[in-house]
Amino acid sequence: MNQKQILFPILISAMLTACNGSKSDIVKTNFDFATKQFNYAFEEMKLAIENESEQSIHERAVNNWSELTNPRNIEPGGELRLVPSKDWCSGFFPGEMWYMYEYTNDEKWKDLAHRRTIILEREKLNNRTHDMGFKMYCSYGNAYRITQNPAYKDVLMQSAATLITRFNPNVGCIRSWDFNAETWDFPVIIDNMMNLELLFWAWRESGDSAYYKIAVSHANTTMANHFRTDNSSYHVIDYNPVTGAVQNKHTHQGHSHESAWARGQAWGLYGFTFCYRETQNPAYLEQAKKIAHYIFSHSNMPADLIPYWDFDAPNIPDEPRDVSAAAICASALYELSVYVNAGLRKSYIEKANTILSNITKHYRARLGEQKGFLTTNSTGSKTHNSEVDVPIVYADYYFLEALLRKQKYE
C-alpha cells in the first residue's frame, strides 16, 4: 500500500469528522448554554413565587386556579410572569426540561422535568380549552415518549378524551375558544392544528379510531377553509355550529383579517407536516410544502429568516420580529425535509440551519439575563399590545426541539 492509499482514507475520515463536528457544534453550544441559563431560571422562578402579589393570590383563589407553575414571558416592567396550569403556555417549560434530559441523559433534568410536569395533571379534565396538546403533549407527551412511564400515559389518554369533547361533527372541527361569544359562534384557529398530535398519539396507543377520525376531520376542514389562494392562512374561521357553514374569516392576533400573521403560518407548516407523518396522506404533504413556499418566498421575509410578527405589518422594517415563529418553522422544516426530494430537502435544511444560526448569534439571551429565558424578541400579540418583542417560553421550547431535530435528521 503506497502513501496515497494510506493518506486518502485518513483525509476523508478527517473531513467527515470536521463536517459532523460543525453540524453538532451549534447543538452542543446551545445546550451547554441552556444548562447554565436554566439554573439561573430556577432562581428567578423561586423569587417570582416568593414575590407574588396579593392581587394575584386572591385572583387564583377566587377562580380556583392552581398555584403558579411555569414561566411564560417577561412583562413590560421586567417582571418574570409565571402562570397557573390552566394557561395554554404551562406545558412548554416542562417540555424544555424533558429535552434537556433527552440531550444530556442527566438525571437532574429528569427530576426537574417530572416535578414541572406533574403539577399540570389537573388539566387532563379541563374541557374549557382546546390547548390540551400544547399543555399536555409538550409536557406529559415528551415525558412518556422518553421514559415510557405508564403513569404519564394514563394522564395523556384522559387528556385526549377530554379534548375530543370539543369536537362538533356538523363543523368537522374541534372548537378553539369559548370567549368572545358576541364575535364568533364556533371559532377555529390555525393554532388548533398543533393539538391534533395528541389525538394521533391516542389513536396509536389505544387503537380507538375515533381519535384518528376527529384529527383527520379537523385537518381536512382546516385545509379547505383556512387557506387563501396564495397559501397563506387566516387566523380564525368562524363556523355555524348547526350547519357547519363558514360565517367569517378573521384574525385575532394578526394585523388585519386579510394579513398573514407570522406565527399562524408557522403553526400551519408544523401541523400539516406531522399530519402527513401520521397519515401518509399526500395532500397534507403538499399543503406543508405550499405553506413553506409562501413563508420563505415572501418579499417581506428578512434575509436572516426571522420574520416580522405579521408578513403584512404596516411599518416593515420598523416592526417587531417573532423569534417564536422562526423556531417553529425551523423545527417543522427539519422534519419536512425527510419527506421530500433531495432538492427540497437541501433547501429546507439550509433554511432551518440559517434560522438556528441567526437565533444563536443575534436573538439568544445573554447568560444570566432575561430571567433565564433562552431567546429574545418574540411577539405574542402586537394587536393587543401583549408580549411584544420579549422572551416567550414557546420560542425557547421549539428552539430546543429544532436543535434536537437537527441532530436527529441531519
What phi and psi, each to the nearest 5 degrees, are found at residue 226? -85, -20
Decide if 131 is catalytic.
yes
* 191 annotated active-site: yes
Which is the catalytic residue, given 87, 106, 111, 131? 131
The Cα–Cα gap between 113 and 130 comes to: 23
Long-range Cβ contact pairs of 82-89 (< 8 A, separation 24 or more): 82/45, 82/48, 82/49, 82/52, 84/60, 85/119, 85/120, 85/122, 85/123, 85/135, 86/123, 86/126, 86/129, 88/129, 88/131, 88/134, 88/135, 89/134, 89/392, 89/393, 89/394
Cα(179)–Cα(385) distance, integer angstroms: 19
Q: What distance in Å separates the CA atoms of residue 156 and residue 139, rounded to the nearest whole number? A: 10
Contacts of 281 (CB under 8 A, 6+ apart): 216, 275
Which residues make Cβ contacts (< 8 Å) with residue 255, sequence separation at least 6? Answer: 261, 310, 312, 313, 314, 382, 383
Catalytic pick among 87, 191, 238, 310:
191
Pick from 23, 22, 44, 20: which is nearest to 365 by CA? Answer: 44
Which grid cell sits at 122? Answer: 389537573
Give the active site residues.
131, 191
